[in-house]
Amino acid sequence: MPQTHHRVVIAVFPDVDLLDVTGPAEVFALADRESGGRAGYEVRLAGPGPAGEAVATSAGVRLVTDLAMADVGAVDTLLVPGAVDPGPEGPRARIDDGLVEWIKATAPHARRVASVCVGAHLLAAAGMLDGRRATTHWSTAAQLAADHPRVDVDADPIFIRSGRVWTGAGISACLDLALALVAEDHGEDLALAVARQLVVYLKRPGGQSQFSVPISRPASSRRDLDELRRYIGEHLDEDLSAAALAARMCLSERHFSRVFAQETGATPAGYVEAARVEAARRLLETTDRPLEHVARACGLRSVETLHRAFRRQINTTPAAYRRRFRTT
């Protein structure tokens, strides 16, 4: 491996997520160690204040900056982590106008730019994700899509590359993202060696949807549709075809399907399958019931149908999901 130099600058600021910063830094440090120093990563923490300033993270642990953001200079890889504020409906990504302006000024001079977790909201605010496909933590994906309609938000992938801009998913996915950056720089053999030292997958099976709690859709403008959604959740093992649901609402199947999609953002078949997969997930997590029983209890009828639905909805298999998330 030829000697190279990669100057990695990670932005740090008050309440930044600790692992978003230290996770990638550890990956790059291990890449240097595993390559005998030839990987050439130099990691620097840049903060809003002077060099040497201690910045408190969301975990309460303080990080000491190497340089001020105003003095960053040349950058090979710019990493932008994020911070969240709690809210009644869940966490919301924090947007700092000064940080956004710094990203606008610094990113054009970097070879590549990557966001970690909710740092994607900062890149989007800086206009760097317009027209690009991007990901973020599943819990703030709806916020990202609503705030930035020109961004193609995909809440499932662990990371996404769009040209020289990378976006990473939630929290521990910072390791997956950093490993992918190492693989781009030095090949998969070195990235695999680092992954082994971290005792993680080089390429994690499945996506974020395996870990996320399905986001409840808000109440619709029609009380009869809200009642129907409750009915679906309580009768998953019954006939929930579009025809049966339309008849229950005394509508033609065509009109019902159009209204349902307008109000929920999903087709009747897609909504029902998602509800059945969610019920199956809970059974796989909390019981030892055979897959045949799980499939029947959730209205998916057969193990084959259960497998297909899991592949479509969360990109894994029922058995793999149970191994990972079994709780009792």
Cα–Cα distance between 30 and 102 in angstroms, integer? 29
**76 and 198 share one domain:** yes
For a pLDDT cut of 90, what percent of the chain falls above it? Answer: 77
Domain assignment of residue 167, yes or no:
yes
E strand or H helix that includes residue 147: helix 141-147
Q: Which two tokens stand for residue 321?
A: 């999901």
Average pLDDT over residues 261-274: 90
Arithmetic mean of pLDDT over the chain: 92
Active site residue 174: no
**159 and 237 share one domain:** no
Indicate if the pLDDT at residue 2 is higher than 80: no
Domain assignment of residue 215, yes or no:
no
Indicate if the pLDDT at residue 258 is higher than 60: yes
Provide the CATH number for the domain around residue 301: 1.10.10.60
Domain assignment of residue 129, yes or no:
yes
* pLDDT given at position 201: 79
Average pLDDT over residues 25-34: 98
Domain assignment of residue 218, yes or no:
no
How many CA within 13 A on the CB side of residue 211?
Answer: 17
For a pLDDT cut of 70, what percent of the chain falls above it? Answer: 95
- Where does a domain end: 187, 210, 233? 210
Cα–Cα distance between 21 and 10 in angstroms, integer? 7
* pLDDT given at position 3: 60
Predicted confidence (pLDDT) per residue in 300-326, tens digit: 999 999 999 999 998 899 999 898 887
Domain assignment of residue 77, yes or no:
yes
**240 and 161 share one domain:** no
Q: Which two tokens stand for residue 285?
A: 């997590």
Q: Which amino acid appears at position 102 of this protein?
A: W
Indicate if the pLDDT at residue 275 is higher than 80: yes
* pLDDT given at position 204: 76
Beta strands in the chain, from DSSP E residues, in sequence order: 6-11, 41-47, 54-56, 62-64, 67-68, 75-80, 84-85, 92-93, 110-115, 133-134, 152-153, 159-162, 165-168
Domain assignment of residue 1, yes or no:
no
Cα–Cα distance between 114 and 77 in angstroms, integer? 8
Task: State the total domains in the chain.
Answer: 2
* pLDDT given at position 214: 57
* pLDDT given at position 1: 53
- Where does a domain end: 210, 237, 255? 210
Domain assignment of residue 160, yes or no:
yes
* pLDDT given at position 215: 42
Given a contact cutoff of 8 angstroms between Cβ atoms, the answer to whether 123 and 165 are in contact is: yes
Average pLDDT over residues 93-120: 97
Q: Which two tokens stand for residue 296?
A: 């029947």
Domain assignment of residue 217, yes or no:
no
Q: Which domain holds residue 21?
A: 6-210
Average pLDDT over residues 162-168: 96
Cβ-based neighbours of 246, under 8 Å, separated by 6 or more: 252, 253, 255, 256, 257
Confidence of residue 156 (pLDDT cuts 50, 70, 90): confident
Residue 165: what are its φ and ψ, rounded to 5°?
-110, 125
Predicted confidence (pLDDT) per residue in 130-154, tens digit: 999 999 999 999 999 999 999 999 9
Tell me the residue length of the chain.
328
**53 and 86 share one domain:** yes
Quote the pTM value. 0.76
CA angle 48, 23, 74 (to 5 degrees): 45
Cα–Cα distance between 194 and 234 in angstroms, integer? 47
Given a contact cutoff of 8 angstroms between Cβ atoms, the answer to whether 90 and 141 are in contact is: no
Q: Which two tokens stand for residue 97?
A: 């106008």
